[in-house]
Amino acid sequence: MDKQGFTTGIVHGDRIAGTEHGGVRQPIHTSVQYGFERVEDLIGVFQGTKKGGFNYARQGTPTTAALERKITQLEDGVGTICFGTGMAAITATFLTLLLAGDHLVSSKYVFGNTNSLFGTLKTLGVEVTTVDACDASQVKSAIRPNTRMLFVETIANPGTQIPDLQGIGEVCRERGFAYVVDNTITSPALFKPKAVGASLVINSLTKTVAGHGAALGGAVTDTGLLDWGGYPNIADDYRRSASKEQGLLQIRKKGLRDMGAALSSEQAHSIAMGAETLVLRVKQSSDNALALARFLEGHEAIGKVFYPGLKSHPQYEIAQALFKGASWLLSFELLNAERMIDVVNALKLPIKATGLADTRTLIIPVAPTIFFEAGADTRRAMGISDGLLRLSAGIEDIDDLIADFEQALKRAA
Ligand SMILES: *Cc1c(COP(=O)(O)O)cnc(C)c1O
């Protein structure tokens, strides 16, 4: 079939790939074991010579495989591995592609748990340097002879910083580094990191792709751009496969199979259902976020508003050039931080909850919650003030959201 539009591909993909009884979506395969008529086929699945077979659900099921195909299609990649959570996808990627003595350079503006994971990597002998990746020259000067990988997020949470995605991609291409881009906030509906040279793309499927806040999942997608034949850390066992397959093969065996953070078929199905409306949701929630950001920027009780769709945002031009929209994520400062509790409690629609990319708007004060453990010094270094609120815009009607903020902000004085 001719190359289709993005959403057409999502909603027809299962059917075209073939399902039993003409079902239009993949059924939920609950089997852990998979049996064969001929033992040669069982052996073939173990040895990888029988493609597309299953043997044990920790390494995948027909339902998780269908989701993997869908994510590959969305990211324009060559293959995907799904995990039980986004953190599992990130952990498996780092632990299988980095060895003790290697060096990882990361943006300093990353998801809190990813930052915490860097601490674990250090205890295992992996060196980690974090830099302000909005400036590619800082990334360049952090590079050492043992650097293997660069890691960034497309839009950071909660500050909405956008790294020099293109510039870092060029550095990685020249040097043969693995360029790992966490696309969770933008999702492939707004941006495909392959366009800036990413080698591997991470999505926490829990967030934008599922969108309903009713399933956990994560994915790592190989864009096909890095020649794994030239990447040092592939084990001999996996060197026997075609060079383009070696990276994901090692992540599937050493990460998914051995570490065991598998996605269940039930959750994969739930994520695939959410993914059908990905573009519609992201459009509505991004439109809402922009309208709210403009409203808040003009409000006397509010200080800075961090949203890449505003001209005041330092990376506004990059967002315009690379993304189809500035996403559903914004944060803003209440000028009088002492009024924060009252203002947030006065909001009727936004749910006071952590989590991101739900159909419902979510709000959370940043300093006393997600950045509490980080401590005051880290918060100051990351520009997180006591009055900072993070908002994940949902798909509600915008007039209702603005009216709600209007009444709640009366308590800010
Ligand atoms: C939530 C999140 C993760 C982790 O995903 P989980 O599915 O919650 O494990 C990773 N990266 C980013 C940017 C996130 O927002």
- Look at the domain 6-30+61-275 and name its fold: Aspartate Aminotransferase; domain 2 (3.40.640)
Which of 184, 186, 205 has most ligand 1 atoms within 8 Å of its beta carbon, as the pocket-test mutant?
184
Residue type, 358: D
Across the chain, mean pLDDT equals 95
3-class secondary-structure state, position 126: coil
- Nearest of 225, 221, 140 to residue 183 by alpha carbon: 221
- Tell me the DSSP string of 217-268: -EEEEE-S-S-GGG-TT--HHHHTS-GGGHHHHHIIIIIIIHH--PPPHHHH
Element (DSSP H or E) covering residue 353: none
- Nearest of 410, 383, 386 to residue 338 by alpha carbon: 386
pLDDT at 2 over 70: no
What does the pLDDT average to over 15-23? 85
pLDDT per residue over 322-357, tens digit each?
999 999 999 999 999 999 999 999 999 999 999 899
What is the spatial distance between Cα 134 and Cα 92, in angstroms, rounded to a whole number? 26
At residue 3, the pLDDT reads 75
Nearest-10 crossing angle of helices 6-17, 278-297: 150
Say if residues 277 and 264 touch (Cβ distance below 8 Å).
no
Lowest average pLDDT, out of 150-154, 240-244, 389-393, goes to 240-244
What length is written for the chain?
Answer: 413
Residues within 6 Å of ligand 1 by CB: 85-87, 111, 114, 153, 157, 182, 184-185, 204, 206-207, 216, 218, 356
Say if residues 97 and 250 touch (Cβ distance below 8 Å).
yes
What is the spatial distance between Cα 362 and Cα 310, in angstroms, rounded to a whole number? 20
- Tell me the DSSP string of 70-89: HHHHHHT-SEEEEESSHHHH
* Residue 95 or residue 24, greater confidence: 95
Cα 118 to averaged position of ligand 1 atoms, centre (Å): 15
- Written as six digits, the tokens of 105 are 């350079």
pLDDT per residue over 65-93, tens digit each?
999 999 999 999 999 999 999 999 999 99
What does the pLDDT average to over 97-124? 96
3-class secondary-structure state, position 342: helix
Which of 187, 206, 271, 329 has most ligand 1 atoms within 8 Å of its beta carbon, as the pocket-test mutant?
206
**What are the boundaries of each domain within the chain?**
6-30+61-275, 278-412
pLDDT per residue over 32-65, tens digit each?
999 999 999 999 999 888 888 899 999 999 999 9
pLDDT at 1 over 70: no
- Tell me the DSSP string of 202-214: EEETTTTTT-SSS
Which CATH number describes the domain made up of 278-412? 3.90.1150.10
- Nearest of 371, 321, 364 to residue 344 by alpha carbon: 364
